[in-house]
């Protein structure tokens, strides 16, 4: 057996039940010894408390139960052999006390495990407490605890147990006397300070002396000394008597106290003095009983007289009550009328809210539909062809142009017609204004607040001169047949940068439009920082980008598409970050869209670097800046990944570095027009095939076996399913209280729908009283005897304690915490969670939880909302894809809900499980943040779908007491995790903290 060297002061307090171990433990606790946090509460048999550490008590009881022994330890077996599977649990108990300098535990059951603990904790000291056998059995007969009925039909069994326990004490003390202190409880009661001095003399450990009033001598009943019971033991149980004498002889005692014990035993009366005493006592009791019976009859007569008088008074009060009832009925009628009016008002308000929510959903659906994109294209075409809403002449002109278009198609062919139409479109667009026009209200408000003003840009320009590091940033721009206006505006956006240390490296990919070369040569002549390469053959965007990179001399590369725009502070912000973090290898910013009228729209505010989110979609995109030496090392852009060449590049870059930084500012305007890649998912279908290929390559390079598939109906969004290397045991832990129907629905959905081959379900009952709940438990114990286990834990509700206790009982390599009001929807839910949980980088795994009406209850947790945290996209329809596809893709979140949370067991234990100071709220968030602190990533899976009938067992936070507790737990979180609550790395600071729907923060 592996031992554990604690280098601490450890005291193990044990001895036969009812021998004074509780008194000893209380004395040590008062001197500063930590005997545990989870102690057995006081009861009738021990009004001051048992002082038993329930963690160790449960451990011993479970060993007894595994071997068919009473949990109390009523056995005459000697040292109990501990099965191997309990070793890790024992070590976990010890590790939980490593931070304590002086600690220990008290449990009489330890007597039967002395050698086990002595080997496991070589530094432990053992306080072996004993008491006279007649007093122990007298206390057991009076106590009547659960399990004590073992003595009802065999009173002698109590003495046999006493003999067994104290024989074990004595043998253990004789084997390793240097680690044991054998002491009578009478010595401690005689002088409590003697125990402290004996510990100091024996073990060299100086403890504080207890207060003078710590011990109440009335609690130690010694009446049996003055009875005939000792002579019974001596006469009929000589082996017990002799062992007690031997204990007294070998125990540590205060000076002069041993003679007192001898004197007490020497004055025990002989049997002649008490042989008829029981007969005499019985007759005295009969006489006293007769007197009491007469007194009871007299009291009954007096009670009847009082009852008659009371009846008269009741009749008088009844008449008064009826009058009051009439008045109350009238008041209730008025109240009902008022309530009816209020309900009507509330109903109207609810209907308005429902209609508002439906309108929001409808708008979201409309804006993401193909119809809406067609509508944008229609208005664009109307402007191109000069169509106005109320112009008959315009209609006639458009009709005439349509006829001409049909004529050209019929007589000149498709190619000629497209060329003519493209030129018409280009000439029309070239007349547009460069000014920002009317914007959507919310984004317009954000831009007014955040877009840099002229004064801001001047200050930035001044700041550049004091930068310690002024790296040259090479802006990489591949060009092919770009409309002249868009090309000029893209180049101008670089020329107007307030950061001057840049070079613009342009590679023209053999454009066929003559204006392209003319514009590029014009700008090359205008500014020496502009470099241009004219490719002889078209090689598509990857080769063109590599040609531009060959021109670069800067330390960093920033990518710019040929029709997009940089904000004037874009390169300044990149340089500023590099001065703060010169180690950065990759930098990306937020972005928005710019339409053909130079109107800014559709902002995309991104999270910090989230590797698993990135496997779901290319979200870093623009503005992307990369260390040139790193891009050169990986070979630049790869041919064959056109359309997703930047996705492939970043996948390879991030395999070489973790120095990735995000600038949460809009620094890039991505051009959207009917021909651009950003106008819709259908614009470049080949790009999504290339993306799947790039992701598949990435998994292969990383040695992770998995399959990439697209998200149906959403091009550009992907799901990764990993191969399960080993179907290890999953322990599903379900705390519950009553609500048998809800629990049964949960269990039925697990056992009937789950396809994972290796799991167990552990139900922890936290005080159920309903008969139906017991029937549900019995049902599943019968139907699933090998996969279902049940434990009772009757403590005040504490979600953290319940789950921590349950994990100790679990056998699985994976822990899956599940609320009792969860209902499984997807059969492979466990498989999908294990796929992710098996990965060393992953901490907690969660899924998509829905309300019964199919609205979203949980799709990840965002920090800072409501002061601490809130579920993202809560109460939105489940068909809603979420902000940037968050709901329907795999994403990293700082936290996920404990209502359905999986992790590896070693991960759970590494962070110490759930924080038990957080009894109800935020314990899952705290747990997840502890995982983040240790370097793990938490992950949300959209393909793990379950119903959640939220908070049925516990209810909602709707009472003053609950609200006070919630406020206290929120304060704990805000104190402990203030930094990350203010800046969630999986959420963007430009998004609101006042709601969970990802609205812009303005």
Is pLDDT of 428 > 70? Answer: no
The answer to whether 934 and 910 are in contact (CB under 8 A) is yes
pLDDT in the model for residue 23: 93
pLDDT in tens, 839-894: 999 999 999 999 999 999 999 999 999 889 999 999 998 888 999 999 999 999 99
First-to-final CA distance of the chain: 63
Whether 989 maps to a domain, the answer reads no
**Radius of gyration of the chain measured on its C-alpha atoms:** 40
Alpha-carbon torsion 709, 712, 713, 719, what sign? negative
Q: Residue 53 region, left (φ>0) first, then alpha (ψ -120 to 50), else beta?
A: beta
Same structural domain for residues 914 and 843? yes
DSSP state of 724: P
| Run of H or E residues at 476 | strand 473-479
DSSP β-bridge partners for residue 863: 869
Alpha-carbon span 583 to 349, nearest angstrom: 56
Do 172 and 73 belong together in one domain? yes
170-179, 251-260, 313-322, 671-680: least confident range = 671-680
Look at residue 395 in the predicted model and tell me its pLDDT: 52
Tell me whether residue 338 is in a domain: no
Q: Around Cβ 563, how many Cβ atoms within 10 Å?
A: 24
Domain membership of residue 499 (yes or no) is yes
The enclosing domain of 96 has a CATH number of 3.40.50
**149/112 same-domain check:** yes
Question: Are the beta carbons of 641 and 690 closer than 8 angstroms?
Answer: yes
For residues 921-925, average pLDDT = 94
600 bridge partner residues = 594
Range from 253-267, 436-450, 732-746, 977-991 carrying the lowest mean pLDDT: 253-267
Q: What is the mean pLDDT of residues 524-530?
A: 96
Residue 945 above 90 pLDDT? yes
| Same-domain status, 889 and 952 | yes
Domain co-membership, 474 together with 560: yes
Span of 419-433, 649-663, 807-821 with lowest mean pLDDT: 419-433
pLDDT of residue 372: 43
Q: How many CB atoms lie within 10 A of CB 504?
A: 26
Whether residues 294 and 183 fall in one domain: no
Q: Name the band, by pLDDT with cuts 50, 70 and 90, for residue 343.
A: low
Domain-located, residue 1002: no
Residues 95-115 pLDDT 10s: 988 889 999 999 999 999 999
Residue 492 and residue 514 share a domain: yes
The answer on pLDDT for 257 being more than 90 is no
Assigned domain for 704 exists:
no
Q: Report the alpha-carbon distance of residue 499 to residue 505 in Å, rounded.
A: 16
* Angle (CA) 586 589 594, round 5°: 135
pLDDT > 80? residue 412: no
- In this structure, of 190-204, 366-380, 553-567, the range with the lowest mean pLDDT score is 366-380
Q: What's the CA gap between 483 and 390, in Å, rounded?
A: 31
Higher pLDDT, 48 or 715: 715
Determine the Cα–Cα distance for residues 171 and 589; give it in Å rounded to an integer. Answer: 73
Query: What one-character DSSP code corresponds to residue 557?
Result: E
Per-residue pLDDT, 954:
47
pLDDT for 957 beyond 80: no
* pLDDT at position 779: 94
Does pLDDT of 218 surpass 70?
no
Q: Are residues 41 and 108 in the same domain?
A: yes
Residue 591 has, within 13 A of its CA and on its CB side, a CA count of 22
- What is the spatial distance between Cα 974 and Cα 960, in angstroms, rounded to a whole number? 21
3-class DSSP string for 832-890: HHHHHHCCCCEEEEEEEEECCCCEEEECCEEECHHHCEEECCCCCECCCCCHHHCCCCC
Report CA torsion sign: 450, 456, 461, 465.
negative
Give Cα 427 distance to the centre of its chain: 58
Same domain, 448 and 560: yes
CA distance 640 to 689: 10
pTM of the model: 0.59
Number of domains in the chain: 5
Could you tell me the pLDDT band of residue 952, with boundaries at 50, 70 and 90?
A: very low
Give the pLDDT score at 407: 57
- For all residues of the chain together, what is the average pLDDT? 84
848 plus 768 within the same structural domain: yes
∠ Cα 116 108 161 (to 5°): 100
SS (H, E, C) 187-253: HHHHCHHHHHHHHHHHHCCCCCCCCCCCCCHHHCCCHHHHCCHHHHHHHHCHHHHHHHHHHHHHCEC
Verify that 156 and 193 share a domain, yes or no.
Answer: yes
Q: Do the domain assignments include residue 577?
A: yes
Tally of CB atoms within 10 A around 507: 28
CATH number at residue 836: 3.90.550.10
927 close to 844: Cβ distance less than 8 angstroms: yes
Residue 919 belongs to what domain range? 726-982
pLDDT at residue 1002 in the model: 81
Instruction: Assess whether 589 and 645 both reside in one domain.
Output: yes
In the predicted model, what is the mean pLDDT of residues 154-169? 91
Residue 416 lies in a domain: yes
| Contact residues for 921 (Cβ-Cβ < 8 A; gap 6+) | 957, 965, 966, 969, 970
Query: CA–CA separation, 865 vs 991, rounded Å?
Result: 10
Does residue 224 sit within a domain? yes
% of the chain exceeding 90 in pLDDT = 62
Note the pLDDT of residue 154. 81
- Percent of the chain scored above 70 by pLDDT? 80
d(CA 922, CA 957): 13
Surface-to-core class of residue 861, CB atoms within 10 Å of its CB (0-12 exposed, 13-18 middle, 19+ buried)? buried
Residues counted in the chain? 1002
Least confident of 193-207, 262-276, 428-442, 793-807: 428-442
Question: Looking at the predicted structure, is the pLDDT value of residue 4 above 70?
Answer: no
pLDDT for 746 equals 96
């Amino acid at each position: 057996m592996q031992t554990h060297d604690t280098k601490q002061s450890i005291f193990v307090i044990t001895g036969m039940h009812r021998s004074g171990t509780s008194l000893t433990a209380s004395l040590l606790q008062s001197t500063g010894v930590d005997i545990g946090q989870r102690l057995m509460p006081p009861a009738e048999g021990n009004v001051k408390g048992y002082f038993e550490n329930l963690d160790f008590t449960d451990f011993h009881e479970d060993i007894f139960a595994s071997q068919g022994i009473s949990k109390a330890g009523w056995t005459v077996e000697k040292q109990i052999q501990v099965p191997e599977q309990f070793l890790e649990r024992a070590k976990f108990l010890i590790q939980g006390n490593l931070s304590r300098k002086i600690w220990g535990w008290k449990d009489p059951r330890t007597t039967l495990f002395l050698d086990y603990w002595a080997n496991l904790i070589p530094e432990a000291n053992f306080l072996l407490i004993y008491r006279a056998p007649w007093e122990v059995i007298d206390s057991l007969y009076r106590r009547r605890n659960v399990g004590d009925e073992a003595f009802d039909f065999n009173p002698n069994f109590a003495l046999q147990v006493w003999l067994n326990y104290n024989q074990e004490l004595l043998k253990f003390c004789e084997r390793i006397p240097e680690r044991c202190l054998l002491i009578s409880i009478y010595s401690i009661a005689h002088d409590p300070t003697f125990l402290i001095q004996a510990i100091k003399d024996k073990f060299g450990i100086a403890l504080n002396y207890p207060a003078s009033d710590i011990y109440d001598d009335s609690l130690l009943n010694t009446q049996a000394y003055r009875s005939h019971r000792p002579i019974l033991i001596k006469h009929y149980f000589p082996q017990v008597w002799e062992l007690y004498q031997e204990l007294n002889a070998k125990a540590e005692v205060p000076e002069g106290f041993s003679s007192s014990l001898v004197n007490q035993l020497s004055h025990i009366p002989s049997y002649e003095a008490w042989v008829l005493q029981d007969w005499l006592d019985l007759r005295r009791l009969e006489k006293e009983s007769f007197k009491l019976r007469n007194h009871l009859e007299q009291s009954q007569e007096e009670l009847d007289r009082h009852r008659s008088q009371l009846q008269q008074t009741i009749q008088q009060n009844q008449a008064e009550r009826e009058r009051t009832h009439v008045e109350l009925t009238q008041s209730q009628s008025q109240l009902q009328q008022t309530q009816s009016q209020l309900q009507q008002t509330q109903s109207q308000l609810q209907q308005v809210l429902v209609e508002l929510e439906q309108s929001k959903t409808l708008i979201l659906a409309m804006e993401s539909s193909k119809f809406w994109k067609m509508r944008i294209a229609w208005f664009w075409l109307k402007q191109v062809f000069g169509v106005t809403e109320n112009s008959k002449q315009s209609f006639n002109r458009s009709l005439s142009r349509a006829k001409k278009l049909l004529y050209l198609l019929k007589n000149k062919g498709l190619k000629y017609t497209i060329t003519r139409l493209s030129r018409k479109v280009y000439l029309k667009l070239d007349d547009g204004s460069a000014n920002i026009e009317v914007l959507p209200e919310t984004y317009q408000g954000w831009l007014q607040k955040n877009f840099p003003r002229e004064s801001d840009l001047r200050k930035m320009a001044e700041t550049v001169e004091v930068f310690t590091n002024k790296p040259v940033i090479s802006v990489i721009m591949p060009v092919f047949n770009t409309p002249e206006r868009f090309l000029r505006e893209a180049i101008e956006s670089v020329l107007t940068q307030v950061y001057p240390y840049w070079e613009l490296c342009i590679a023209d990919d053999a454009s066929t439009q003559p204006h392209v070369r003319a514009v590029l040569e014009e700008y090359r002549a205008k500014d020496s920082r502009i470099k241009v390469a004219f490719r002889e053959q078209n090689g598509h965007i990857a080769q063109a980008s590599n040609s531009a990179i060959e021109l670069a001399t800067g330390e960093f590369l920033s990518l710019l598409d040929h029709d997009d725009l940089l904000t004037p502070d874009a390169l300044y912000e990149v340089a500023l970050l590099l001065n703060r973090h010169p180690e950065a290898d990759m930098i990306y910013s937020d972005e928005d869209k710019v339409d053909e009228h130079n109107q800014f729209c559709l902002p995309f505010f991104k999270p910090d670097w989230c590797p698993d989110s990135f496997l779901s979609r290319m979200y870093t995109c623009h503005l992307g800046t990369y260390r040139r030496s790193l891009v050169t090392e990986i070979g630049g852009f790869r041919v064959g990944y056109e359309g997703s060449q930047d996705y492939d590049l970043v996948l390879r870059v991030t395999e070489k570095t973790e120095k990735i930084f995000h600038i949460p500012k809009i620094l890039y305007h991505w051009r959207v027009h009917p021909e651009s890649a950003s106008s819709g998912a259908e614009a470049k279908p080949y790009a999504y095939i290339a993306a799947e290929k790039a992701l598949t390559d990435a998994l292969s390079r990383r040695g992770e076996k998995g399959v990439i598939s697209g998200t149906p109906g959403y091009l550009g969004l992907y799901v990764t399913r990993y191969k399960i290397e080993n179907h290890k045991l999953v322990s599903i832990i379900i705390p519950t209280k009553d609500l048998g129907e809800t629990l049964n629905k949960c269990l039925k959905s697990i056992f009937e729908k789950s396809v994972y081959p290796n799991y167990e379900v552990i139900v922890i009952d936290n005080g159920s009283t309903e008969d139906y709940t017991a029937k549900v438990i019995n049902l599943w114990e019968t139907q699933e005897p090998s996969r279902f286990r049940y434990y009772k834990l009757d403590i005040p509700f504490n979600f953290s304690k319940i789950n921590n206790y349950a994990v100790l009982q679990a056998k699985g390599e994976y822990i899956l915490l599940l609320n009792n009001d969860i209902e499984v929807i997807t059969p492979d839910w466990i498989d999908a969670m294990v796929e992710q949980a098996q990965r060393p980088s992953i901490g907690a795994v969660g899924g998509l939880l829905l309300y019964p009406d199919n609205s979203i209850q949980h799709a990840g947790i965002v920090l800072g909302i409501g002061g601490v945290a809130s579920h993202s996209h809560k109460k939105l329809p489940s068909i809603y894809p979420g902000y940037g596809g968050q709901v329907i893709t795999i994403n990293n979140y700082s936290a996920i809900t404990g209502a359905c949370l999986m992790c590896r067991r070693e991960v759970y234990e590494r962070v110490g499980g759930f924080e038990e100071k957080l009894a109800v709220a935020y314990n899952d968030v705290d747990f997840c943040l502890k995982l983040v602190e240790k370097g793990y990533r938490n992950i949300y899976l959209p393909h793990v779908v379950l119903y959640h009938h939220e908070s049925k067992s516990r209810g909602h936070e709707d009472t003053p007491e609950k609200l006070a507790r919630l406020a206290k737990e929120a304060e704990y979180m805000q104190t402990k995790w203030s930094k990350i609550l203010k800046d969630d790395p999986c959420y963007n600071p430009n998004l609101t903290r006042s709601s969970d729907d990802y609205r812009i923060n303005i």
